[in-house]
Structure 1
Amino acid sequence: MEYIPESRQQLILCCECGTAIPPNPANMCVNCVRSIVDITEGIPKQATVHWCKNCERYLQPPATWLACDLESRELLALCLKKLRGLVKVRLIDAGFVWTEPHSRRIKIKLTIQKEVFAATILQQAFEVEYVVASMMCPDCTKVMAQNMWKAMVQVRQKVDHQRTFFYLEQLILKHNAHQDTINIKEVKGGLDFHFAQRSHAIKMCDFLASMVPTRAKTSEQLISSDIHNGTSNYKFTYSVEIIPICRDDLVVVPKKTANSLGQIAPLTLCTRVGNVLHLIDFRTLQTTSVTGFAYWRSEDITPVCSMRDLKEFYVLDVELLGPRHGRYALADITVQRMADVGRNDCEFIVRSHLGNLLAYGDSVLGYDLDSANINNANFEALRHEDVPSIVLVKKSYSERRRKRKNRNWRLKTLDKDDGELAPKKQDKEKLEADFETFLRDLEEDPELRQNINLYKDAEAAQRARSAIGDNDDDMADSDDGEDAPEVPLEELLEDLKIDDEDDEEMDM
C-alpha cells in the first residue's frame, strides 16, 4: 500500500524578490516590506536629557526636576516622553541597554508595531541613544549664589548644653527631614536651616513641633518689588524655640499649675521629653504630661537644677516600699555624699523612685539641695517640708566599668557649616562632654534608642579593645558589681559604604 504524505501549506512567491512565503495580504516577504516601509521613521534615534550634577536630578520639560536612579522605571518613563514619534506606533517593549556609568550615555531598546498595509502589521526593534548633558537646576543655582535662600528656620533652646540638638539631629536623619535644605549652619545656641522654598521651611517647623514642644514666630523681609505687575520678593524667617527643660532636670511647678495637672507635687523630675513633657513625682511615683501649649501659655514651669548640678552619692541601703510604676519602684534609700565616704557618718534617708535600680555599693547621681544655690521665685515660695535635702536622679557607672564595654556602634551626623562660628578650646571640650553624655543616655535608656538609628562600627570596637590592652584584666579585678549598660547587637543597623576608589577599581 503506497503512503500518501499529509497536505502541506500552500506557498506563494513574493511579488518583489520571488521568495516562497506563506500567503499574506501584502504578498511580500518581511524583508521586502521592511525595505519599502520603515515604521521607525519619525522617531529620533538620538536625544538629549539634562541632568544636574549637584542634586543628581533629571529635567522633565518644561520645568520639573525628578530624582531618578539609573535603569529605573522613572528614568525610563522620562526618556520615553522625549520621543515624540511614539504616538503614531504601538509600543510593545522597552528596556535599558547597559552602558558605562561614566560615559554619560543612556541606551534604550524599543520594540514597536505598526500597520503598514491592509491587515499587515510589522514589528521592529531598534535602539535609541540619549546623551546626558549637565545643567544646573534652579535650586542648585540659588545655592551657589550668595544670599539666595528663600526661607530660614532658626532653632534655639535656652540651656547650657547641646544634648537636645544631638537628639534632634538624629531624629532629622532618621526621618530624612533635611532633604530639602540647601544649607545647615551651626550657630551659637542652635542651628539655622536654609531652604529654597517657603513650604519646605513650614514643613520643617511642623516636623520639629511633632518631636519636641516648640513655639514659632514668623518674620519677613522685602527684597524687591515690581510696581508694574504688583509682585514682590520676600525672605521668610521662622524662629523656633524649644522648651528649656531637658531630661533629668529638677522642675518646680507652681501650686495653681500643679493642681491643674492632677494635684501633682510642686517639685518633680523630668523623665522624658517627646512631643509632650513627662514629669514624675519621685516621692509618690505620680506622673503627668505637659503639652507645649500648656507650657507656653504661662511659662511658670521652670527648671531649677540641670545636669551640670548633679553630685555623686554612695548607696548604703535600699528599703523597697512596694508601689511600682513602669520601671520605677518607690523606696527609702540611705545614701552618703561620695566626698564624705570614709571621713564622717553624715547619712541621708531619701525617698526615691529608683528602688529597683539601686543596690548596696552602687553610685547614684542626684541634686544636693542643701548646698545648691538656687535663685528661683517659685522654688523659694515652696514650703520647707516640700523641699528634700537630696533628690536622686539616675544610677552612675564608673569610668573603668564603661571602658570595659567596647562601644561597637556609631551615629551619623548632619553636614553642617560652621560659618563664622569659631569655637574655642573650652567650647570644644564642653561640646565633646555633652556628646559623651548623650551617648551614655542612649546606652542607659532603651526608650530613647527607639527613635534613633544606631549603626555598627567594627573599627571603633577594635580600637577600644586595642586601647584597653593588657589593662582589661586589672580593671575587671578592680571593679565589682554590675557592668555598665551597652547597646544590644540586634538593635544596630548595617551601614553601606561605597568608596570612590572601589568604584574606580570595578570600572577598570
Structure 2
Amino acid sequence: MNPEMFMPTQTIGSVLCCMCGVCMQPNAANMCLRCLRSRVDITEGLQKSLAIIHCPECNTYLQPPRTWVKADLESKELLTFCIKRLKNMNLVRLVHAEFVWTEPHSKRIKVRLKIQKEALHGVILEQTYIVEYTQQEHMCDPCTRIQANPDQWIANVQLRQHVSHRRTFFHLEQLILKHGASLKAINIKEMHQGIDFFFGNRSHAVKFVEFLGNVVPIKKREDKQLVSQDKKSNSYNYKYTLSVVICPICRQDLICLPPKVSVNLGNLGPIVLCTKVTNNILLLDPHTLRSAFIDANQYWRAPFNTLLHSRQLVEYIVHDVFEHDYKSEVKVGNTKYLSAFVELSRVSDFGKNDIMFTVRTHLGHLLSPGDHALGYDLHGANSNDVEVGKYKNLSFPDVILVKKCYEETLQEKGEGKMDVMKNHKDGGRKDDEYDKFLDDLEANPEMRFNLSLYDGSKEYQPSDDDDRSMSEMIADLDLNDYDDDEEAVVDHDGGRRTGNKMEE
C-alpha cells in the first residue's frame, strides 16, 4: 500500500477581507486585491506627463543639459530616451513598456508602462499607467546657425567629372542614398559638370570623400582659406575646399590605351571596352577576351581619354552568327563572354544600300540571327585621338559590338522619351540621360545588385540570382507588408498599428 494515502493533506484556508468582507486567500494585509488597489496607488509620485524638446530639422531630442539624441518615431531609441527622462523610476520595478499609437502631427507621444512595487506589509502590486509626452519644437544650435545663414559652412566638397553626360552622377546618387553618405551635408548645389556638397565640419567632408574613393576612381586635392584669427589665443578659423575629380572613363566606353599602359597590362588591346567601373576600372579586349583591372592610382599616373562614348552607339541588325569558339569562353565577374563571328548591317542603311560587315565579337552567346545590337561604327567614325597615332600598324575593325538590345523595347521607350522632350524643353536632355541610366539598370543584374530600388514606401534589396527587370520588381511590391518582429498595437478605433516594445 502507498504510505502517502495515510499522510494528512494540507488545505489553504480562507479569510474575510477586512474592508469589504469578501472571502479570499489570506495575505499580509488581510485585504482583497480590489480594496488594496483602491487604498494604495503605487504610481503616486511618478510623472504622468512630461515635455520634451524636439528639433524638426535633424529629428533629434534634447537630453539635458546639451546632448541631442537622434531617434525616429516608435523606435527603440525613442522609447529608451522617454523612459530615462522620467524621475523616481528607481522606486519601482519596470516590467514592460510600449508605445500607444497617436497621430504623428499631434505632437504627443504616449508610452504605456507596467510597474511593480511593494505595498502594505510586503504585498507586491503590479499596475499599468500611461505617460504622455508633449513634443515642443525647438531647433538645436547647429540647425539654428544653418537656418540663420545657409552659407555658413566649414568644408566644401566640389565633385566634378569632365564628360558630356551625367550617367555617373545618377549611379553615384543612388549609392549615396543607399549608404546615407550625405546625411551630414548642410547644403547641396548642382553645378556645371558636377555637384557641390557643403558641410559644417571638416571631418564630415573628409569622411564623405573617403566614401567616394571607395565607389569610384577619384583624384582629390585639399585647400584652405583663412577666415579669422586671434593672435592672443593663437586660434585660427579656416574654410576648407576639397576638390574631387572623377575619372572620365565610364561603362561601355571604347578606349585606345596608350602604349605604356598597354605594355604594363601585358600588351592588352590597345582597343578595349570598359565593362565595369567601381573604385577600379575593368577593361576587356573584345577580340582576345582578355581583361585587366586599373585602380585610381594607376590611371592618374598615366591618364587617357575615351575614343568613343555611349552616345555614339549605332544600332545594328544581326544577319548570321557563326564560328563560335567555345574554347575561348571566359567569365569576368558574373558575366560570360564567348567569341564568335557576326554578319550584320546598320539599321539606318535599310532601303538605302546593302553594306554588310563581318566582325568578331565577344557576345557570341547572346546573339542570334534577327537580333538587334548596339555597337561603335569605326568604319565611318572620324577620330582625332592622340593615342591612335602612336600605333603605326594598328588596324581598326569595322564594328565593335557593345550590347544586345530589343527593337520593341527601344520603340516603346523612344515614344516615352519623345513625350518627355515635349513636356520638358529645358530638362529633356537630362531626362533622356536618366532614362538611359534606368535602361542600364534593367539590363544589367550585376549593376542592379549594388543599388537599392525604391517604390515610394518599400525598399527592395536584390539577391545574387535576381535576373528580373525593374518593372517586375515594382509589380511585386506589396504595400500591406509589415515586419513580423514588431508587435501590433490596436488603437481605440480598431486599426492595426505597429510599434516597438521593451521588456525587462
**Cα distance in 1, alignment partners of residues 350 and 11 from structure 2:** 113
| Percentage identity across paired residues of the two chains | 43
The secondary structure found in structure 1 opposite 2:339 is: strand
Matched letter for residue 188 of structure 2: I
Matched letter for residue 184 of structure 1: I
The question of 1:133 aligning with 2:155 is answered: no
Query: Would the alpha carbon gap of residues 350 and 142 (structure 1) be closer, same or farther in structure 2, given more than 3 Å must change?
Result: farther
**Aligned residue number for residue 417 of structure 1:** none
**Cα distance in 2, alignment partners of residues 343 and 113 from structure 1:** 90
The secondary structure found in structure 2 opposite 1:377 is: coil
How many aligned residue pairs are there? 449
**Aligned residue number for residue 301 of structure 2:** 297
Q: Give the Å deviation of 1:270.
A: 0.9
Give the alignment of 1:85-234 within 5 angstroms.
85-114=88-117, 126-145=129-148, 146-234=150-238
**Cα distance in 2, alignment partners of residues 434 and 227 from structure 1:** 53
**Cα distance in 2, alignment partners of residues 400 and 24 from structure 1:** 81
**Aligned residue number for residue 340 of structure 2:** 331
Contact 1:405 1:486 (8 Å CA) reproduced: no
**Aligned residue number for residue 306 of structure 1:** 309
**Aligned residue number for residue 481 of structure 1:** none
Unaligned runs of 5+ in 2: 1-8, 417-423, 457-467, 481-494, 496-504
Query: Would the alpha carbon gap of residues 23 and 230 (structure 1) be closer, same or farther in structure 2, given more than 3 Å must change?
Result: farther
**Aligned residue number for residue 352 of structure 1:** 361
CA distances 1:338-375 after superposition (whole Å, capped 9, x unpaired) = 45444445433322212233333444333333443322
**Aligned residue number for residue 500 of structure 1:** none
**Cα distance in 1, alignment partners of residues 475 and 449 from structure 2:** 11
The secondary structure found in structure 1 opposite 2:427 is: helix
The question of 1:381 aligning with 2:415 is answered: no
Query: Would the alpha carbon gap of residues 403 and 43 (structure 1) be closer, same or farther in structure 2, given more than 3 Å must change?
Result: same
The question of 1:48 aligning with 2:59 is answered: no
Contact 1:50 1:135 (8 Å CA) reproduced: yes
Query: Would the alpha carbon gap of residues 392 and 77 (structure 1) be closer, same or farther in structure 2, given more than 3 Å must change?
Result: closer
Give the alignment of 1:260-275 within 5 angstroms.
260-275=264-279
Say what the alpha-carbon RMSD is for the aligned residues: 3.9
**Aligned residue number for residue 466 of structure 1:** none
CA distances 1:44-100 after superposition (whole Å, capped 9, x unpaired) = 433211112233322222333333333433222212222232234433444444545
**Cα distance in 1, alignment partners of residues 135 and 114 from structure 2:** 23
The secondary structure found in structure 2 opposite 1:331 is: strand
Give the TM-score normalised by structure 2: 0.76
The question of 1:494 aligning with 2:477 is answered: yes
**Cα distance in 1, alignment partners of residues 220 and 31 from structure 2:** 77
Give the alignment of 1:234-245 within 5 angstroms.
234-245=238-249
**Cα distance in 2, alignment partners of residues 405 and 450 from structure 1:** 26
Contact 1:320 1:329 (8 Å CA) reproduced: no
The secondary structure found in structure 2 opposite 1:75 is: helix
Contact 1:455 1:493 (8 Å CA) reproduced: no
**Cα distance in 2, alignment partners of residues 197 and 375 from structure 1:** 45
CA distances 1:434-490 after superposition (whole Å, capped 9, x unpaired) = 222222222322222222334569xxxxxxxxxxxxxxxxxxxxxxxxxxx954625
Matched letter for residue 271 of structure 1: T
242-251 or 125-134, which moves further after superposition?
125-134
Q: Give the Å deviation of 1:115.
A: 5.3
Query: Would the alpha carbon gap of residues 12 and 372 (structure 1) be closer, same or farther in structure 2, given more than 3 Å must change?
Result: closer
Q: Give the Å deviation of 1:317.
A: 3.2
Query: Would the alpha carbon gap of residues 320 and 426 (structure 1) be closer, same or farther in structure 2, given more than 3 Å must change?
Result: farther
**Cα distance in 1, alignment partners of residues 12 and 289 from structure 2:** 96
Q: Give the Å deviation of 1:153.
A: 2.1
**Cα distance in 2, alignment partners of residues 151 and 65 from structure 1:** 23
CA distances 1:105-164 after superposition (whole Å, capped 9, x unpaired) = 333344445557775666655443322111112343243232123333222111101111
Query: Would the alpha carbon gap of residues 109 and 313 (structure 1) be closer, same or farther in structure 2, given more than 3 Å must change?
Result: closer
**Aligned residue number for residue 315 of structure 1:** 318
